[in-house]
Amino acid sequence: MSATTTSSHTPMSAQELDQFRAQVRAFVAERLPQQVREKVRLGIEPNKADMIAWESELRDRGWLAPHWPLEWGGTGWSPAQRAVFQEEMVLGHSPELGGITFEMIGPVLLRYGTEAQKNFFLPKMTGVEHFWCQGYSEPESGSDLASLRTRAVRTRDADGSEHYVVEGSKIWTSGAQHADWIFCLVRTNTDVRQQEGISFLLIDMTSPGVSLRPIVGIHGWPLFNQVYLDKVKVPVANLVGEENQGWTIAKSLLEFERLNLARVAENRRRLAKLRSIGETVEEAGVTLFERPWFRRRFSELEVRLETLAATVLRFRVRAQSGERLGPETGMLKLVGSQLIQDIAVLTVDALGPQTLAWDRDAHFELPGPDTEPPLIERHPYAPTASSRRFVTRGYTIAGGSSEIQHELLAKQVLGL
Ligand SMILES: Cc1cc2nc3c(=O)[nH]c(=O)nc-3n(C[C@H](O)[C@H](O)[C@H](O)COP(=O)(O)OP(=O)(O)OC[C@H]3O[C@@H](n4cnc5c(N)ncnc54)[C@H](O)[C@@H]3O)c2cc1C
């Protein structure tokens, strides 16, 4: 991630780092809107208005894209400061910031974008004006992404202006319902090896020919979308890098993505919630923490999280010193996504039947003003625990499945 970093700071002393931590904690406590904090605490999904409200606060403080170069709105913080910032944000119940915008397309434009692209798009991202989504996967191309078929044909209008006409469909597109722009991998040459005929295009979601079909997850929310591209005209100026070199850009973006997909901060938040469950929920007359089965599983998760956090920090230090990270970042994604699933499973196990959806009243009578309250008192984290568990099932698939990560690590890192 060399293109995204400019820090030349000398490392902070432990005392300075503590002061910095206190500063971030105070800011989150004061400025994070109360209703957003409460939603995140209870595992309820913040909506776009919530995100705009919070990101605007961070924008005004200059903390929305801390890892970007100073001239593009970054902070010049060290990796240790960034880790502290992320930790305090999470522990203060801040929602996850737009990872697709700030961790994927932003860094790609910083590295590969033209000056015109950087000048137009980057301020819109840090200004909370543009939300982005990622158009890689297709109905027939997921793990085997290089086989993608969405076609982009370069044409010239009578007035001499050049554009691509894009035809095809993207699927599993997270957040497309809120996005203003989508970055897409498209096929611009069918006569060469698959990887050599792909280009990277930026498409305005309001362009004629773009339409969406929401896809509802197992938990009942519209989690992602299918995006249809029906003869969409895209100016040639929206091509990133050279035509047919999109595969190189796609791979470098996946490195940024996988560093982020370790989800250290999110894992920390969920483990903190699980700790508070362990400390308050009782079983057989004692708290769960005093029950060996819970304590053992919790401690294992905690150790796994701390080793992951230390490893991510090492990678970030390497990236900050200008080193290009390779396929080994897949290891972080592999470990972090499995960890989050295991935390979600223990949360459900700890809360037990409280996490089930209840249809007792629906079973016997129509609900009305006299409908009896539930028979079991529910822990505040119980209502969303099961749906959270189901959602995390997707984490070992999104961004490249665990099987694919194993294969890449075996071949490209271990040389097996
Ligand atoms: C929550 C979530 C959010 C997502 N968001 C986005 C998004 O915003 N944008 C986007 O472009 N995509 C997104 N995706 C799509 C994701 O990238 C793909 O689902 C993923 O790459 C797998 O592709 P597939 O679903 O087509 O499965 P397939 O590739 O069909 O794989 C099916 C199964 O076969 C296994 N498999 C496939 N090939 C091999 C192999 N060579 N060796 C061993 N096992 C193999 C896989 O591991 C998997 O278990 C998202 C997915 C999820 C779950």
Which CATH code for domain 132-246? 2.40.110.10
Residue 202 CB coordination number (10 Å): 22
Give the predicted TM-score (pTM) of the model.
0.89
CA–centroid distance, 93 to ligand 1, in Å, is: 29
Q: Is 224 in the pocket of ligand 1 (CB under 6 A)?
A: yes
Q: Which atom of ligand 1 is nearest to the CA of 176?
A: 8
Q: Indicate the pairing of strand 132-135 with strand 181-187.
A: parallel
Q: Is 349 in the pocket of ligand 1 (CB under 6 A)?
A: no
Q: Whose CA is nearest to atom 23 of ligand 1?
A: 142
Q: Is 142 in the pocket of ligand 1 (CB under 6 A)?
A: yes
Cα atoms in the 13 Å half-sphere on the side-chain side of 307: 8
Q: Which atom of ligand 1 is nearest to the CA of 136?
A: 11
- Distance, in Å, from the CA atom of 246 to the CA atom of 250, rounded to the nearest integer, reads 6
* CB burial string 68-97: b at 16+ within 10 A, e below: bbeebbbbebbbbbbbbbbbbbbebbbbbb
Q: Is 260 in the pocket of ligand 1 (CB under 6 A)?
A: no
Tens-level pLDDT at each residue, the chain (416 residues): 333 444 445 678 889 999 999 999 999 999 999 999 999 988 888 999 999 999 999 999 999 999 899 999 999 998 889 889 988 998 899 998 888 999 899 999 999 999 999 999 999 999 999 999 999 999 999 999 999 999 999 999 899 889 999 999 999 999 999 999 999 999 999 999 999 999 999 999 999 999 999 999 887 778 899 999 999 999 999 999 999 999 999 988 877 777 777 888 889 989 999 999 999 999 999 999 999 999 999 999 999 999 999 998 888 888 777 787 888 888 999 999 999 999 999 999 999 988 887 665 555 556 667 766 666 778 889 888 998 899 999 999 998 899 999 999 999 999 99
Residue with tokens 């910032």: 85
Helix-helix angle 246-260:292-320, to 10 degrees? 140
Contact indicator for 363, 287 with CB cutoff of 8 Å = no
Q: What is the Cα gyration radius of the chain? A: 23
Contact indicator for 173, 211 with CB cutoff of 8 Å = no
Q: Is 134 in the pocket of ligand 1 (CB under 6 A)?
A: yes
Considering the domain delimited by 261-356+376-413, tell me its CATH architecture.
Answer: Up-down Bundle (1.20)
* CB burial string 317-353: b at 16+ within 10 A, e below: eebbeeeebebbbbbbbbbbbbbbbebbebbbebbee
3-state secondary structure of 361: helix
Q: Nearest 5°: phi and psi at 157?
A: -80, 170
Give residue limits of the domains in the chain: 2-97, 132-246, 261-356+376-413
Which CATH code for domain 2-97? 1.10.540.10
- Distance, in Å, from the CA atom of 113 to the CA atom of 280, rounded to the nearest integer, reads 51
Contact indicator for 342, 303 with CB cutoff of 8 Å = no
Q: Whose CA is nearest to atom 35 of ligand 1?
A: 403
- Distance, in Å, from the CA atom of 182 to the CA atom of 217, rounded to the nearest integer, reads 21
Residue 45 CB coordination number (10 Å): 14
State the first-to-last Cα distance of the chain, in angstroms, to the nearest integer: 27
Q: Which atom of ligand 1 is nearest to the CA of 407?
A: 42
Residue 303 CB coordination number (10 Å): 10
Q: Nearest 5°: phi and psi at 381?
A: -90, -5
Distances (CA, A) of 259 to 183, 333, 399, 413: 19, 7, 11, 16
